[in-house]
Amino acid sequence: MNMISEYLSYPFIQRALLASVMVGILCPFVGNFVVLRRMSFFSDAISHSAFAGIAVGALFGIDLSLSSVIVAILIALIIAFLSERTTLSHDTVIGIAFSGAIASGMLVIGMLKGYRADLFTFLFGDILAITNNDLLLILIVSVLTVTALLAFLKPFLQITFNRDLARVEGINVRFFEYMLFLIIAIVITISLKIIGIVLVTSLLIVPAASAKNLASSMSRLFMLSSVFGIISGVAGLAASIYLNTSSGPTIVLVSIGIFSLTMFKRGNGH
DSSP for 70-122?
HHHHHHHHHHHHHHHHSSS-HHHHHHHHHHHHHHHHHHHHHH--S--HHHHHH
Flag whether pLDDT at 117 surpasses 80.
no
Give Cβ neighbours of residue 30 (< 8 Å, ≥ 6 apart): 145, 149, 183, 184, 187, 204
**What is the total residue count of the chain?**
270
Task: Give the pTM.
Answer: 0.86
pLDDT band at 26 (very low <50, low <70, confident <90, very high): very high
pLDDT band at 214 (very low <50, low <70, confident <90, very high): very high
Q: Which residue has the higher pLDDT, 134 or 257?
A: 257
Average pLDDT score over the chain: 86
Flag whether pLDDT at 32 surpasses 70.
yes
Helices (H) and strands (E) in the chain, counts: 13, 0
Per-residue model confidence (pLDDT) at position 115:
59
pLDDT digits (tens, 9 = 90+) for 133-180: 889 989 999 999 999 999 999 999 999 888 888 888 889 988 998 999
Per-residue model confidence (pLDDT) at position 54:
85
Q: Which residue has the higher pLDDT, 1 or 215?
A: 215
Q: Are 135 and 18 in contact (CB under 8 A)?
A: yes
Per-residue model confidence (pLDDT) at position 131:
87
Per-residue model confidence (pLDDT) at position 2:
57
Per-residue model confidence (pLDDT) at position 265:
72
Give Cβ neighbours of residue 206 (< 8 Å, ≥ 6 apart): 232, 252, 255, 256, 258, 259
Q: Which of 27, 39, 37, 36 is nearest to 215 (CA)?
A: 36
pLDDT digits (tens, 9 = 90+) for 41-83: 888 888 888 888 888 888 888 888 888 888 888 988 888 888 8
Cα-flanking dihedrals φ and ψ of residue 50, to 5°? -60, -30
Q: Give 269: exposed, middle or buried? Use CB within 10 Å, 0-12, 13-18, 19+.
A: exposed
Per-residue model confidence (pLDDT) at position 118:
65
Per-residue model confidence (pLDDT) at position 270:
52
Give Cβ neighbours of residue 133 (< 8 Å, ≥ 6 apart): none
Categorise residue 149: left if φ over 0, alpha if ψ from -120 to 50, beta otherwise: alpha
The answer as to CATH 3.10.20.600 being correct for domain 19-196 is: no
pLDDT digits (tens, 9 = 90+) for 10-24: 888 899 999 999 999
